[in-house]
Structure 1
Amino acid sequence: MLPALGHIDAWIFDLDNTLYPASADLFGLIDAKMGLYVERLLGVDPVEAKRIQKQMFREHGTTLSGLMRSHAIDPHEFLAFVHDIEMDVLAEDRLLVEAVARLPGRKLIFTNGDADYAGRVLARLGLSESFEAIHDIHACAYQPKPHVASYESMVAAFGIDPTTSLFVEDMARNLKPAKAIGMTTVWVNNGSELGNHQADASFIDYEIHDVGQWLHEITGE
């Protein structure tokens, strides 16, 4: 293990555009479904629906959070609709699977999606047995990253020590609260939409481009 990371005993990973390349554009399919949901809910045209959707994402962390606040929608219904997509673009990633397996300590998923969807993604990547648990949007009481409460709920749920934990995420702004509570932070700068929004070196410890490759490098493989 890289000496600077020898103290890490909990490895926490975001899911979308982190454990698979942003170029797969799986989230593009979800994004389209969210736009359609907003279009039908509010009776607006696709252009206006997209504008509203992106505004809610920027202001509330997720489109879901914004819609729950402004229109009291059912989160289960929303998530079932937007996650009803094909995942043919994803394939097993042996490099990543082997690298995650070598990490010492606990391994967790921390996502603004839900556990059912995350499980499907992990299965496609060959990572179904690689993580202890998934801390999803339901477990966060619908307070998504980067809300501080979501990080606090994750830490409390698994009894982890932030100062010996590392968090890997493609959305730079989601690393700020993690750094504030003492986590080591890793930004996956892979070109994901708004991934570099509010990026600041003060709360990013490592900037990488591929999770599997980086994990191989730090474990000396």
Structure 2
Amino acid sequence: MLARLSHIDCWIFDLDNTLYPARANLFARIDARMTAFIADLLGVDETEAHRVQKAYFHGHGTTLAGLMADHGVDPHAFLAYVHDIEMDVLEADAPLAAAIARLPGRKLVFTNGDTPYALKVLDRLGLGGSFEAVHDIHAMDLVPKPHPSAYAGLCAAFDIDPTRAIFFEDMARNLAPAKAIGMTTVWVDNGSEQGPGEDRSFIDFTTAALAPWLDSILED
């Protein structure tokens, strides 16, 4: 193990565009479903619905959080609708599964999505047996990353010492609260959409591809 990471005993991974590359473009299908949901809810055209969606995403952390705050949207109905997509763009990732299996300690998924969706993605990637648990948006009491309460709740739920944990995320802004409580942070910079802001001082490591990076720290 890389000496700088020898203290790590809990490995925490975001799901979308982290455990699979952004170029798979799965989230574009979810994005389209969110736009359609908003268009129907507000009675607006696709262009305006997409504008509203992105405003909520950047302002509230997730589109859902904004819709709940301003329109009282049922989170279960919204998540069921937007996650009703085909996953044929995802393929099993044997190298990633092997690398995760070699990591010493606990492994968790920490996602703003819900568990049923996360489990389908993990199964498609060949990672169905790779993680102890999924900490999802419902476990966060519907308050998503990057709100600090999401990270505190994760640590409380699984008795995690954040100073001995490492968090992998494709959304750079979601790493800031993790760093603030002592986690080591890894930005999976593989082309996914980012929010506003250029500060990257809270990022300890950056990689464009997860499996090779994990192999590199294990072989050091």
TM-score, normalised on structure 1?
A: 0.98
SS of alignment partner, residue 202 of structure 1: coil
2:62 is the alignment partner of 1:54? no
Unaligned runs of 5+ in 1: none
Partner in structure 1 of residue 141 of structure 2: 141
Residue pair 1:12, 1:166 contacting (<8 A) in 2 also: yes
Aligned residue in 2 for 1:88: 88
Give the counterpart letter for 2:155 in structure 1: V
RMSD: 0.9
User: Partners of 1:200 and 1:13 in 2: how far apart?
Assistant: 21
Counterparts of 1:160 and 1:167, CA distance in 2: 12
Query: Corresponding residue for 2:13?
Result: 13
Is residue 172–residue 198 contact of structure 1 (8 Å, CA) maintained in 2? Answer: no
Distance in 2 between residues matched to 1:202 and 1:82, nearest whole Å: 33
Q: Does the CA-based 8 Å contact 1:173-1:199 persist in structure 2?
A: no
**2:199 is the alignment partner of 1:200:** yes
- Describe the shift of the 1:160–1:199 C-alpha distance in structure 2 as closer, same or farther (beyond 3 A): farther
Q: Is the 8 A contact 1:172 1:199 kept in 2?
A: no
Spell out the pairing of 1:54-133 with structure 2 (5 A cutoff).
54-133=54-133
4+ residue runs over 3 A deviation: none
The equivalent of 1:166 in structure 2 is 166
* Partner secondary structure for residue 118 of structure 2: helix
CA contact (8 A) 2:171 2:194 kept: yes
Is residue 188 of structure 2 the alignment partner of residue 188 of structure 1? Answer: yes
- Aligned-partner residue type, residue 146 of structure 1: P
Q: Please give the alpha-carbon distance, in whole angstroms, between the structure 2 residues aligned to 1:194 and 1:104.
A: 31
Which residue of structure 2 aligns with residue 31 of structure 1? Answer: 31
Query: Deviations along 1:153-188, whole A, 9 cap, x unmatched?
Result: 101000000000000000000000000000000001
Figure out how many residues of one structure are paired with residues of the other and give that number.
220
Shift of 1:199: 4.3
* Separation (CA, whole Å) in 2 of partners of 1:21 and 1:101: 19
Aligned counterpart, 1:22: 22
Distance 1:211 1:199, change over 3 A: farther
| Counterpart residue number, 1:150 | 150
Following TM superposition, by how much is the alpha carbon of 1:201 offset from its aligned partner in structure 2, in angstroms? 3.1
Residue 73 of structure 1 aligns to a residue in which SS? coil
Cα offset for 1:111?
0.2
Shift of 1:200: 2.5
Counterpart Cα distance in 2 of 1:32 and 1:201 = 29
Question: Is residue 219 from structure 1 mapped to residue 206 from structure 2 by the alignment?
Answer: no
Distance (Å, rounded) in 2 between the aligned partners of 1:149 and 1:99 = 30
| Structure 2 letter corresponding to 1:203 | F
